[in-house]
Structure 1
Amino acid sequence: MDHEDTSLTCSIRIEWTNAIGIVNKKVQCKNATLRLIRNDSRQIFVEIRYDKAAPIKLLLERLSVHKNFMKEGKATIKFLEIACSVYLTNAPPSQLVNFLRTMFVKMTGNVAKNEKSSSLRTQLLSSKSRQFEEISPVTESELYRAQKLATGKSSTTTPSPIRKRKLSDSSNSKPASAKRLYTSSSPIQNNPLDLEQKEVLEACLSGQNIFFTGSAGTGKSYLLRKIIGALPADVTVATASTGVAACHIGGITLHQFAGIGLGTSSVDKCIEMATKSASSILWKKCKHLIIDEVSMIDAEYFEKVETVARKIRKSDKPFGGIQLILCGDFFQLPPVSKANEKKKINFCFMSKAWKTCIHNTFELKKVHRQEEQEFIDILNEVRIGKVSAESEKVLVSTATQSIEQDGILATRLCSHTQDADLINESKLNALPGDVKVFDALDSNPAMGKTLDNQTTVPRRLELKIGAQVMLLKNINISKGLVNGARGVVKEFKDDYPLIKFRRELYLAVPERWSVKTTSGVAARKQVPLRLAWAFSIHKSQGLTLDCVEMSLGRVFEAGQAYVALSRAQSLKTLRVLDFRATQVWANPDVLDFYNKLKIRQDCMSLVPLGMRNKSNKSKTNNTNTLRGISKSLLNKPLINIS
């Protein structure tokens, strides 16, 4: 943790109430700064600065914190001693979580010191003559002490009542609320950003319109969630081209947000549709628009969305003045074409709107999913549609290797969804014993179809002992219980399936998924499993599979083979049947786009060497030298298209 965790910028509303609960004083501000400070008596305060008014200092003692909507940038801190409530809104979610965590940890440390208490009124009056200083960042020992308190007995400083987790594994007795707020259990919190990712985050926070890309496994989704968490929640809209991708980042589909459906109508009709729908409110409120998996948005649709943005927001600026943050890899799955329609694919980077809107492009190059350099090199070849004889030999050799372990079979990746469904159904029917059925509990049954499309979790799950399954949620990263982990049903215990994974036994109890729509939030509660004898390549996007088999003979579009191969964690856990180099190809327009991107990045990285000369003549010579180098680069493609 750093000093940013001791401060927070957001909108506030502060209310003081009397003995019967009537508000007798209120303060409200759209842009306030909260800081954690300490006086010379080691008492901790939250200082609130707003407008040009004198700062408000509130002692952190006897609190109640409501934090159910932290992901939306909202929380409430109730100061019970003085009947004061501080309502926080439009806070960057990650900043809000870190601020509340730091607050809890520091308060825990103060409790251990057993300081003599006095009335809050006396403390506040006497504090006027005292010196205040900003609180230091949280140390490891303070965090450890706070975690022990969160998982043990409560105290007067615990921010909110801790509820015991229901339907949980007996080995995990930690309360859900404590785990969510005070520990770093998610991969986003555990792994710091690398230099490439930090550069992208800084560009986003500086207000630039950007597109960032990278090969599979470079942490694009991971970085995107960090960006979403760092921006003000109320004016940031996270979208994606597909429902599953939108669910992964806690957003909605671009089609839902735009309010123009599939965009098949004329531009004028699309503007009319968006203006009359609930989307118009979101358009006017939005300041930061995020689009994930942008490779699946075609040029025509991108143009229409950009036009709608300008018209609804009544602004001639690109995208109506909204900051645009795009993410995706055009070497992976292209825009979906209509059935039986064979026409040239026009990627969104080929549109006029792209050239007008996107100011900076970044490429992540460090691969996090795979660790074997040999496999990374092979995937880089496959990505651009080129497979050397040596790489082909390595992939062909995987056909005979045994990757099964402890009864866990390899998941077969299929190019067609119906093939995967047929394999799973036939394999389940072939198992002996009775079927155990798990029906999902949806918050709104009318939203069942939306939940089917935007989550990977099935509405109805049928299992038997011996069924091959895949975990659909990150449960415990350190134990390997992550999204995409493979296991087998060993037995049913307390009406729930006990799953044997490679490193762990796990009792699969219902988990919750939620998806956002323009009309609200829909939620589904279901056992976090799916049959995994087979899986479609399209639905595997974003997954990391630790035991996977594939036959690429029926791939039908550019990048499909690359998506399938890049799901594997290593060559040792991969089996490719009947591999041929002809199954791998890349779209020529995409190759050209990335070739030009590489040239631009190389040109921008060129700087004059030697001492700076102040004369205009030297400056001109340096400029001409750079232009000459840039020109030579433009004439030398960095990716061979032939």
Structure 2
Amino acid sequence: MPSAIPLVEPYTHVPETKEQLDWAHLTNIDLSKYGTPEGNNELSQVLIRAIKTKGFFYVTNFGISQKDVDQQFALGQAFYKLPLEERLEYVADLDAGNYTGYRPAGRRPLTGGIPEKIEMWNMSTEDGQIRQPLPQPLDFYRDDIENFSKALHDKILDPLNHLIALALELPEDHFKDLHRWDKNDESHLRYMKYSKFSPEEVDALKDNLWIRGHTDLGSWTLLFRQPVAGLQIRDPETKGWKWAKPLDGSLTINAGDALSYLTGGYIKSTVHRVAVPPKDQQDVDRLGLMYFTRPQNEVLLKTVDSPLLQREGYSQNDFEAGGHEVPTMEEFTKLKQKWNQRKGVSGEQAEGQQILPGVIEKRLAKKPTKRARKAAQQLRLELARNAKIDQRQRKYSSLDEEGLNGEQQTIFDLVVKQGKSVFFTGPAGTGKSVLLKKIIRSLSTKYLGDDSRIGVTASTGLAALNIGGTTLHQFAGIGLGEAPTVMLIQNISKKKINLWRWLNVDVLIIDEISMIDCVLFDKLDAIARELRQIDLPFGGIQLIITGDFFQLPPVRKGSDDGSPKFCFESEMWNQAIHHTIGLSQIYRQRDPEFTVMLNQIREGRLSPTTIEKFRELHRPLADNGVEATELFPLRRQADQANSRRLRKINGVAHHYHAEDGGIITNEDTRKGLLSGCAPESLALKKGAQVMLTQNFDETLVNGSQGRVIGFANKDTFSSSQWEDEACEPQSSALTLHPVVRFLTQDGDSLVHICAPVEWAIEQYVPDPLDPDRWIVEKLATRTQVPLLLAWALSIHKAQGQTLERVRVDLGRVFERGQAYVALSRATSMEGLQVVSFDPSKVTVHPRVKTFYASLSKG
């Protein structure tokens, strides 16, 4: 008696979303035009443009009935209605890189610790037949499934391969012969189920993605219309994400890695992802029907000999450019599928899906071409990221933790040992910079000396130099940062070193955060997410941010009332920062009473006693050989004051002109980078008051003040000869450098000759000759005497400095925070002179007070 036909329930498509999504505008390939010379020529040009501009396109009128398509959806639905125990009998050998069969859900964790809910059923053919075991009811419909797969080849893939050959000026059957239906390959039909998430799971899913950004490894991917929106495409030009609209009667098709290799990179394998559906479709499962086609197993992934590709300069792919053995499609498929399906490895841990490390690693030891060097850079990014999994478990015995107090140790443990994003703040003199330097040194140890993974930045050039970094703007590659975010992303993407820096960095440090506004902070977050293709705050980069918002505010005026827009007002601030910790122990000021007074200035709440104490500081300071440095609100005021004082000194001026260098040749750009270090030109006379701008040792540090007592040649200099300040150089023909008597923190003095030193703005880049090494490039350098005239400084220049003797005229201040920054530079009341103390000049922005009040309550 014949067996009964298994009942297959018809599949009903759910309604399309009513939400207004940002849909991609894709080209349509109308195959009704295919088959005539004129139609083929027209379609070949339309197709090649579509692939090169978007990578995805629609195909309509492809000759397969909707009834046949719906039957495959119904069979997919029937498969997923089978008991899980039965489906598990058909699990593919995923660990070996085999996709044929069932792939259960939960293979990878998603962001937020949510288990993935994606299941796959893949059916491949051998010599034109499906030979793998099939459960019922699929086994009963085996012939229908085979015929459907063959129809895809005959009616869609063969025409597409024909059209591509025409576009590349190849024999018409060139690509068809590489994709023969009756030959062994890894092509397969897939039923793919995305199970719905609960509202709580959606909230916990940090990046809102079912599948992260990736490319497909084959030649073509055919996606049949699925009304539940989810597919998102990254535009190759703007790098923005667009939703792919499910059009009636259409197929959505994209090119994959194999076509990219076969065309030497001319055809791009476009990045795409699957997002959680819109809210009106989040209550249903999403069933996908797709077909993945690949060249035959024995096909070598070498660049085809195309006249068009030769003219356009696409004669080698990344394998060939490295001078290494080109893999077969079978080798590439198995290795990459094995990589993609590593069990328990999250998408974040497996970042950078476009290149398979196991394949590229052995093929790019040498890189004679720019394109090969670019591929090597991408490889190293992948290898570095993969190493994170093990490195974050290491125990390091040489971390720089000595001398930390309890508050500092808590911060240190969070950022160095636990990898948390932290904002730490506190009054001036609480050791923020000292702690930050210890963190930087320890992170270097943690990352085994690979400092390219640590972005050390600050809001100003001087602050950056103090911690051995660069400005935030320079690191980010954004110029002034005023352009729209989309334009900034485009500009960064065009400069491979800027793009590489964003992709490679694990930790971003930002010092003096008070001078960064929230507009820039949000832009940087958007840039990081887009470039890294990780939809987490700052693309998953760990943030270490420090500063004091009671100090100088952002320069940019962003709000309607002209007031600054602080970084903590950013939309992303609370999402990006895991912990906020305040330091309270003061190191700079040794007098507890003075510490209390400065805290009242900081918070804008002055007691009558504090007001009276500051007014008493109007008296002149005792003469100890070094005058108090006067702080001015504006730099030009400080420069004018210094020039006046220098002109009053009788004697010969010695002029020192900086020598600039570095790989940046644009003079304006280089000067901008070096603006925070030494002056281009410096005039000094005997008797000039100066400040040291480099750290020499524990006694002579950046900010040490002194007086020029003469000039000498460094090769013949002896400090003992200058103790009485009577020594003079014997020959004017020698190169002379200033000799300075510095005042030390303990009240003593020290004589030192100040020969020129080099400042360098550096970046880490891959060594073009060795893929395992990183080298330091000097963007800009300046060699100059490490001194500044220091009768006067701008308050901006003084931020972050410790000064033993300070004179402040509060009658001149005009900006919130200036009074506090100026007064807190002093180490004691004995070394501080305050002129025109006016309590009304001591102002704090109300939004800053509110922010810190919320921290204290928390």
Normalised by the length of structure 2, the TM-score is 0.47
Q: Provide the rounded CA distance (Å) in 2 between the counterparts of 1:361 and 1:229.
A: 21
Q: Helix, strand or coil: the match of 1:400?
A: coil
CA separation of 1:440/1:551 partners in 2, compared to 1, >3 Å: closer, same or farther?
A: same
The structure 2 residue matched to 1:526, chosen from 784, 795, 801, is 784
Partner of residue 418, structure 1 = 636
1:522-565 deviation digits (Å, cap 9, x = unpaired): 33222221111111000001111111101011212111100000
Partner of residue 29, structure 1 = none
CA separation of 1:567/1:91 partners in 2, compared to 1, >3 Å: closer, same or farther?
A: farther
Partner of residue 410, structure 2 = 199
- Whether the 8 Å contact between 2:452 and 2:764 is mirrored in structure 1 is no
RMSD: 2.5
Shift in Å, 1:404: 2.8
Partner of residue 683, structure 2 = 462
Q: Provide the rounded CA distance (Å) in 2 between the counterparts of 1:223 and 1:294.
A: 15
Q: Provide the rounded CA distance (Å) in 2 between the counterparts of 1:96 and 1:543.
A: 32
Q: Provide the rounded CA distance (Å) in 2 between the counterparts of 1:517 and 1:418.
A: 32
- Whether the 8 Å contact between 1:257 and 1:518 is mirrored in structure 2 is no
Partner of residue 564, structure 1 = 822
Q: Provide the rounded CA distance (Å) in 2 between the counterparts of 1:486 and 1:96.
A: 39
Shift in Å, 1:342: 5.9
1:90-113 deviation digits (Å, cap 9, x = unpaired): 999xx99969xxxxxxxxxxxxxx
The yes-or-no answer on 1:213 pairing with 2:425 is: yes
The structure 1 residue matched to 2:741, chosen from 483, 486, 500, is 500
Shift in Å, 1:402: 2.1
Q: Helix, strand or coil: the match of 2:413?
A: helix
Q: Provide the rounded CA distance (Å) in 2 between the counterparts of 1:91 and 1:504.
A: 45
- Whether the 8 Å contact between 2:589 and 2:595 is mirrored in structure 1 is yes
Partner of residue 541, structure 1 = 799
Shift in Å, 1:251: 1.4
- Whether the 8 Å contact between 2:801 and 2:825 is mirrored in structure 1 is yes
Partner of residue 359, structure 1 = 578
Q: Unmatched 5+ residue regions in structure 2?
A: 1-389, 714-735, 744-748, 766-776
The structure 2 residue matched to 1:487, chosen from 698, 701, 706, is 706
Partner of residue 611, structure 2 = 392
- Whether the 8 Å contact between 2:517 and 2:556 is mirrored in structure 1 is no
Q: How many residues align?
A: 416
- Whether the 8 Å contact between 1:250 and 1:516 is mirrored in structure 2 is no
The yes-or-no answer on 1:509 pairing with 2:755 is: yes
Shift in Å, 1:263: 2.5
Q: Provide the rounded CA distance (Å) in 1 between the counterparts of 2:489 and 2:425.
A: 30
Q: Provide the rounded CA distance (Å) in 2 between the counterparts of 1:264 and 1:584.
A: 31
Q: Provide the rounded CA distance (Å) in 1 between the counterparts of 2:848 and 2:786.
A: 36
1:397-429 deviation digits (Å, cap 9, x = unpaired): 1111323312x1111100111110001111111
Shift in Å, 1:440: 2.1
Partner of residue 293, structure 1 = 512
Instruction: Tell me which protein shows more strand as a share of its residues.
Output: 1
Partner of residue 586, structure 1 = 844
Which letter maps to 1:194?
A: N
Which letter maps to 2:466?
A: H
Partner of residue 590, structure 2 = 371
The structure 1 residue matched to 2:439, chosen from 216, 224, 227, is 227
Q: Provide the rounded CA distance (Å) in 1 between the counterparts of 2:739 and 2:823.
A: 30
The structure 2 residue matched to 1:253, chosen from 466, 471, 477, is 471
The yes-or-no answer on 1:409 pairing with 2:621 is: no
Q: Provide the rounded CA distance (Å) in 1 between the counterparts of 2:503 and 2:435.
A: 26
Q: Unmatched 5+ residue regions in structure 1?
A: 1-89, 100-187, 601-642
Q: Helix, strand or coil: the match of 1:330?
A: coil
Q: Provide the rounded CA distance (Å) in 1 between the counterparts of 2:522 and 2:512.
A: 17
Partner of residue 595, structure 1 = 853
> Max radius of gyration: which structure?
2
- Whether the 8 Å contact between 1:211 and 1:358 is mirrored in structure 2 is yes
Partner of residue 453, structure 1 = 675
Shift in Å, 1:243: 1.3
Which letter maps to 1:374?
A: E
Q: Helix, strand or coil: the match of 2:455?
A: strand
Which letter maps to 1:499?
A: V
Q: Provide the rounded CA distance (Å) in 2 between the counterparts of 1:98 and 1:318.
A: 30
Q: Provide the rounded CA distance (Å) in 1 between the counterparts of 2:506 and 2:562.
A: 35
Alignment of 1:430-449 (within 5 A): 430-444=648-662, 446=667, 448-449=670-671
Q: Provide the rounded CA distance (Å) in 1 between the counterparts of 2:527 and 2:613.
A: 50
The structure 1 residue matched to 2:550, chosen from 314, 320, 331, is 331
Q: Provide the rounded CA distance (Å) in 1 between the counterparts of 2:645 and 2:493.
A: 50
Which letter maps to 1:323?
A: Q
Q: Helix, strand or coil: the match of 2:605?
A: coil
Percent sequence identity is 42
Which stretch has the larger CA shift, 482-491 or 205-214?
A: 482-491
CA separation of 1:329/1:339 partners in 2, compared to 1, >3 Å: closer, same or farther?
A: closer
Which letter maps to 1:560?
A: Q
Which letter maps to 2:429?
A: G
Q: Provide the rounded CA distance (Å) in 1 between the counterparts of 2:556 and 2:623.
A: 37
Q: Helix, strand or coil: the match of 1:504?
A: strand
Partner of residue 483, structure 2 = 265
Normalised by the length of structure 1, the TM-score is 0.62
Shift in Å, 1:369: 0.6
CA separation of 1:97/1:241 partners in 2, compared to 1, >3 Å: closer, same or farther?
A: farther
Q: Helix, strand or coil: the match of 1:474?
A: coil
Which letter maps to 1:500?
A: R
1:40-88 deviation digits (Å, cap 9, x = unpaired): xxxxxxxxxxxxxxxxxxxxxxxxxxxxxxxxxxxxxxxxxxxxxxxxx
Shift in Å, 1:448: 4.8
Which letter maps to 1:595?
A: A
CA separation of 1:270/1:239 partners in 2, compared to 1, >3 Å: closer, same or farther?
A: same
Shift in Å, 1:234: 2.9
Q: Provide the rounded CA distance (Å) in 2 between the counterparts of 1:251 and 1:97.
A: 25
Q: Helix, strand or coil: the match of 1:227?
A: helix
1:135-154 deviation digits (Å, cap 9, x = unpaired): xxxxxxxxxxxxxxxxxxxx
- Whether the 8 Å contact between 1:219 and 1:367 is mirrored in structure 2 is yes
- Whether the 8 Å contact between 1:427 and 1:533 is mirrored in structure 2 is yes
Shift in Å, 1:315: 1.0
Q: Provide the rounded CA distance (Å) in 1 between the counterparts of 2:391 and 2:659.
A: 31
Which letter maps to 1:250?
A: G
Q: Provide the rounded CA distance (Å) in 2 between the counterparts of 1:471 and 1:459.
A: 16
Q: Helix, strand or coil: the match of 1:413?
A: strand
Shift in Å, 1:507: 1.7
Q: Provide the rounded CA distance (Å) in 1 between the counterparts of 2:695 and 2:483.
A: 40
- Whether the 8 Å contact between 2:598 and 2:823 is mirrored in structure 1 is yes
Shift in Å, 1:451: 4.9
Q: Helix, strand or coil: the match of 2:423?
A: strand
Q: Provide the rounded CA distance (Å) in 2 between the counterparts of 1:347 and 1:543.
A: 23
Q: Provide the rounded CA distance (Å) in 1 between the counterparts of 2:751 and 2:572.
A: 51
Shift in Å, 1:518: 8.0
Which letter maps to 2:799?
A: Q
Alignment of 1:98-117 (within 5 A): none
- Whether the 8 Å contact between 1:468 and 1:532 is mirrored in structure 2 is yes
Partner of residue 577, structure 1 = 835
The yes-or-no answer on 1:552 pairing with 2:771 is: no
